[in-house]
């Protein structure tokens, strides 16, 4: 299944072997990982395993995380995409939209630009009626993206594994 989404600046596409290096560099930055899971960084092997799992998700469910590449520079900047938030049983069944970019690409509106295209894909191409997004309370940049996407805050909760406060946003289409 080849799926590519184009935004003005980004190509959102399936993962390739040669993305591992660039994604591993992003995952090794403590500032990037600060608000993810327990905040620990990932090494190259963990990143490679992650990419393999994301690709399996695409094959099995027809949704997944897109590799986000700056089209002109042909540079991987991170990911934007869809996943199943199994780590948070209280919101299941659900599909979550999420994003992670390398630090040097922050502050240019790229995550929002990619997320708008992914949300459109979710609603139109996958006929999803409900998409959630979850961030660690305090991750203001991520919350701002959720608001810009037109999502509404649904609940405050706690990460079942790490005990960290979370905010859940949701976007529902009217039936």
Query: Residue 140, SS3?
Result: helix
Question: Of 9-17, 53-61, 135-143, 155-163, which segment contacts ligand COA by CB under 6 A?
Answer: 135-143
137 binds ligand COA (CB under 6 A): no
Question: Of 28-36, 61-69, 151-159, 166-174, which segment contacts ligand COA by CB under 6 A?
Answer: 28-36
Q: How far is the CB of 100 from ligand COA (least distance, A)?
A: 4
Residue labelled with tokens 């970019």: 101
Size of the site for ligand COA (CB under 6 A): 21
CA gap 163, 96 in Å, rounded: 20
Tell me the per-residue interface mask from 87 to 126 with ligand COA, x by CB under 6 A, - otherwise: -----------xxxx----xxxxxxx--------------
Helix axes 44-61, 20-27, angle to 10 degrees: 110
CA 169 → CA 95, 99, 130, 131, 144, distances in Å? Answer: 12, 14, 11, 8, 11
The smaller minimum CB distance to ligand COA, of residues 20 and 101, is found at 101
Let me know: does 15 contact 67? Beta carbons within 8 Å.
Answer: yes
The smaller minimum CB distance to ligand COA, of residues 28 and 127, is found at 28
Parallel, antiparallel, or unpaired for β 165-172 and 65-70? Answer: unpaired
**Contacts to ligand COA by CB under 6 A:** 32, 35-36, 98-101, 106-112, 135, 139-142, 144-145
């Amino acid at each position: 299944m080849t799926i590519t989404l184009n935004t003005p600046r980004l190509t959102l596409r399936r993962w390739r072997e040669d993305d591992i290096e660039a994604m591993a560099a992003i995952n090794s930055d403590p500032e990037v990982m600060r608000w993810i899971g327990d905040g620990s960084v990932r090494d190259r092997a963990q990143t490679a395993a992650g990419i393999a799992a994301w690709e399996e998700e695409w094959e099995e469910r027809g949704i997944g995380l897109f590799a986000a590449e700056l089209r002109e520079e042909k540079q991987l900047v991170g990911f934007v995409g869809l996943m199943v938030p199994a780590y948070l049983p209280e919101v299941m069944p659900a599909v979550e939209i999420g994003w992670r970019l390398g630090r040097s690409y922050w502050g240019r509106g790229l995550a929002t630009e990619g997320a708008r295209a992914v949300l459109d894909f979710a609603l139109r191409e996958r006929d999803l009626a409900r998409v959630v997004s979850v961030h660690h309370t305090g991750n203001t940049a991520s919350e701002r993206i959720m608001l810009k996407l037109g999502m509404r805050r649904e609940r405050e909760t706690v990460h079942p594994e790490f005990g960290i406060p979370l905010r859940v946003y949701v976007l529902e289409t009217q039936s």
